[in-house]
Structure 1
């Protein structure tokens, strides 16, 4: 049975809801569905902040003999399979009520009574969307959609709800997501003025999207200002990986989106208003050009993400006074960084290859061809890498370097793997301790 829903179907359910709960699923939330054994989980956990809100039905003690257990049964709807389930939310207030001296509060709400197939074979960091319906559907008060993190819909949802890199869960008001943005109002006024005075073409030329290097520099400046710092020195920053992830995925992307909407909105306006003709007629006749604009927009976003990550890691190397060479050619291949340089390949100095991938998928396999040149480190901010892929990288002598928060995150699969280290560990252990010759100077 196909469990995938397209964005247009998902957006329909969003509109039917008065409130939305989104959770990035932990491995415990979905790992049970792929297990041959039926464990006690068989569902997902509800965070305390959400459980104590009014989003889900109220719990009560239904068994006086077990006063520490609160629960509720209610009907839920699962659009991907069009089925209604009788679900249960259960809260165990004490871990061991018979032993009062050692008992500790257990803030854990279990949600069971879910279709197992919806949670099977999910990539790490997949999303759970739950909507509280404005009007019940066949007795169901809530709908549930599980979205694989590798799907296009996951990317759309992250953008639509403006989910940050460190997002775990939250409640959203659908009406506020579509609320008027002061920036959008300003852009509408600017475009209207440009159309009235005939300066739309001039306006478009002024709105060119900044180069990836410029965007990266602007984003770094914002982070440095927020943290009252002058440098992105990885030895001074407590969590350098998290810093790069925030700069790249949150700060820079926000700057890029504003520049993009100015530029693309003006381009579309020019097509719709061409020659003073009917906008609907221009829409139909100009569709090939519109299609080209949106295709270009998608390609620009993808290329920006990769270059962004490279520029930020390069800044860490520079501010950390680490010897490196960018985009050097090795046997017909071009890794992102060689430490200290290509010139040291045949010397006694140990050479380190650092490659970058914002998203891994299967593209990491090409790196195995570079292992003859030196130790390979693959840096990423991708939290969707599976345990199987991590094992295979280990067999190919590839060490993953990930942001500090992702290493221990319950939603990722990184914890427990020896070939996965944090940016903090990379700079402290692999560079400063094991390869001090890579440092130009230990002093600023």
Structure 2
């Protein structure tokens, strides 16, 4: 986390600024965008603007003003930073002989210091200057609630790096296609009109189990890609496939089911009173309970479904494993090949078995594994791109190998590429199983 205490939300300010803007730019910050703030003197302060954005017209045009150095292009860009209240005489500098990116300099140092990996930079191009500023900028730590809201509102996919957006998207969260929302509205109106609301609520009251939604997401992935299975030895990037299924496809499916249930529950509470104000005031405790339940269910669903996807990839790869084996007071997600082999480990080679744990997001929960000592190698699979360098060092000291999607292992936005205890899913299946433990695979 950037601070010991939770960051104060800036969401209402973002909505206000978005309403004054003609376009928005969002970027997932790389290490080069922020390392200068944590290691002064190593890099020039500032972040990088991708060529596609530089050429889009979002920022002022660059020009070569120094006749002695025609390869250097520059443009001033007065910037407003609402988190600090500062107006900065920022500028953009592009060295055409060094690469396609443009360096944006003169920015508030503190906003870029101590950020979690994969944090976000959001910018807006103002329709009218604000104290001479033509653009505004906000830095959002990836572990904050604002980051979660922003990613949901803009429907950010797991492979997102940067993009331009319509500011109106901040005013109205477009989580569902308009026709789907319109259909639900019509169904609720119809149910109320014919006195059938209770029956309609009953029909949508059950959210599919995590395994059901996960299976539906896998089938959607197979249909869209033509891939017949999640066999990790046939997929070029098995980790990226799991990340897309669990973080993108599955979440869209879940949101459709969730909206039908939760919207119906809220409508049922509000129509019980003669007017809206009375309904909200008197029904607030119940409304609060509905949204709390929704939040908790989302988190539970994500963890369980990730385990389901890992089980599928192990099955499709013909890898022997036992799920949720009880070992004393411990219950690891997966034991390869089985509990019996692991418990005999003291008299057999250490290499004969391994434990594979699954966590969609890590934070500090990876430390649970340090209390679960097994006589085998321990690996932790995740699709989290926000793990700090310090946590990775601590995992390495504890002998824990981290397994991440291929694109995250190579990403400049994470610390994974610089840590030897982090491997991609492909490396895990090829090296830790295929080469080191081939006996874990069932022969054809």
TM-score normalised by length of structure 1: 0.94
8 A contact 1:359–1:380 mirrored in 2: yes
- Which residue is 1:26 aligned to? 30
Q: Supply the distance in 2 between the matched residues of 1:4 and 1:287 (Cα, whole angstroms).
A: 24
Shift of 1:36: 3.2
- Which residue is 2:138 aligned to? 145
Q: Which is further off, 359-368 or 226-235?
A: 226-235
- Which residue is 1:76 aligned to? 79
- Which residue is 2:211 aligned to? 213
Q: Is it true that 1:172 corresponds to 2:165 in the alignment? A: yes
8 A contact 1:371–1:397 mirrored in 2: no
Q: Is it true that 1:370 corresponds to 2:368 in the alignment? A: no
Q: Supply the distance in 2 between the matched residues of 1:5 and 1:60 (Cα, whole angstroms).
A: 38
Aligned residue runs from structure 1 range 152-163, under 5 A = 152-163=145-156
Aligned residue runs from structure 1 range 29-48, under 5 A = 29-37=33-41, 39=43, 41-48=44-51
Shift of 1:372: 3.0
> How many residues end up aligned between the 2 structures?
430
For structure 1, the 5+ residue unaligned runs are 96-105
- Which residue is 2:312 aligned to? 315
SS in 1 for 2:417: coil
Shift of 1:374: 1.2
For structure 2, the 5+ residue unaligned runs are none
Q: Deviations over 1:266-302 (max 9, x none)?
A: 1111111115x11221111101000000000000000
Q: Is it true that 1:299 corresponds to 2:296 in the alignment? A: yes
Q: Supply the distance in 2 between the matched residues of 1:199 and 1:232 (Cα, whole angstroms).
A: 43
8 A contact 1:356–1:379 mirrored in 2: yes
Superposition CA RMSD, Å:
1.6
Shift of 1:404: 0.2
Q: Supply the distance in 2 between the matched residues of 1:217 and 1:395 (Cα, whole angstroms).
A: 36
Q: Supply the distance in 1 between the matched residues of 2:410 and 2:169 (Cα, whole angstroms).
A: 32
Shift of 1:416: 2.1
Q: Supply the distance in 2 between the matched residues of 1:440 and 1:369 (Cα, whole angstroms).
A: 31
Q: Deviations over 1:42-83 (max 9, x none)?
A: 100000100001101111122111111111112100000111
Q: Deviations over 1:228-267 (max 9, x none)?
A: 1322111111110000000000000000001101111111
SS in 1 for 2:128: strand
Q: Deviations over 1:387-416 (max 9, x none)?
A: 111111001000000000000101011002
Match of 1:360 among 359, 362, 366: 362
Q: Supply the distance in 2 between the matched residues of 1:274 and 1:6 (Cα, whole angstroms).
A: 35
8 A contact 1:4–1:80 mirrored in 2: no
Q: Supply the distance in 1 between the matched residues of 2:291 and 2:385 (Cα, whole angstroms).
A: 27
Shift of 1:369: 2.5
Q: Supply the distance in 2 between the matched residues of 1:405 and 1:386 (Cα, whole angstroms).
A: 17
